[in-house]
Amino acid sequence: MNKKIPPSKLEAHLGFWLRYVSNHVSERFEKLLAAKGTSVTEWVALRTLFEKPETTHAELIAALGMTKGAVSKVVSRLVEKKLIKRSHQKNTTREQILSLTPAGISLIPVLAAEADQNEVHFFGHLAKSEYEALIQTFARLVSHHQLKEIPVT
């Protein structure tokens, strides 16, 4: 007599809960950014350029973990919106340098406030110790699995 073991429920898996919460956090953040005329990918690119004011196209590709073509499209959209500018490194016309424009610099705190507000919306009810424990746990998971690519979608 072979007794079949019933399959585990979706809710029995931490991955289910991670995805469930992540999807809702991301969806709300996408809407907040869209209301400001940007996307999550554009936000990550702008924030990357804010951290390193003169970034090469290759460095942005590495930071975003996207293909050259995909990053080129993001860069083109941000240039069209006058949030970043392209220039060339001294002594070469091949390597592009990307930097924020004054409009891009002034948009960063606005978008950061949206990110902060989204964080409070979803996690503000947690005790500080619970919030910090979640961050530490996820940071350990990222380190253990050597995850490198920043989520941009």
For residue 83, the domain's CATH number is 1.10.10.10
- 51 in a structural domain: yes
Q: What pLDDT, on a 0 to 100 scale, did the predictor assign at position 92?
A: 64
- 49 in a structural domain: yes
- 32 in a structural domain: yes
Residues 6+ positions from 103 with CB-CB distance below 8 Å = 81, 82, 83
Q: Give the domain extent around 50.
A: 23-115
CA distance 127 to 140: 20
Sign of the Cα pseudo-torsion (131, 134, 136, 138, in order): negative
Average pLDDT over residues 102-125: 97
- 97 in a structural domain: yes
Backbone angles phi, psi at 144, to 5 degrees: -60, -40
Render pLDDT for 26-84 as a digit per residue (tens, 0 to 9): 999 999 999 999 999 999 999 999 999 889 988 999 888 889 999 999 999 999 999 99
Q: What pLDDT, on a 0 to 100 scale, did the predictor assign at position 64?
A: 87
- Is the pLDDT reported for residue 89 higher than 90? no
Structurally, how many domains does the chain consist of? Answer: 1
- Is the pLDDT reported for residue 149 higher than 70? yes
C-alpha of 62 from chain center: 13
Using CA atoms of 70, 75, 78, 83 in order, give the dihedral in degrees to the nearest 10: 150
- 130 in a structural domain: no
Average pLDDT over residues 138-147: 94
- 47 in a structural domain: yes
- pTM, to two decimals: 0.84
- 66 in a structural domain: yes
CA distance 74 to 83: 11
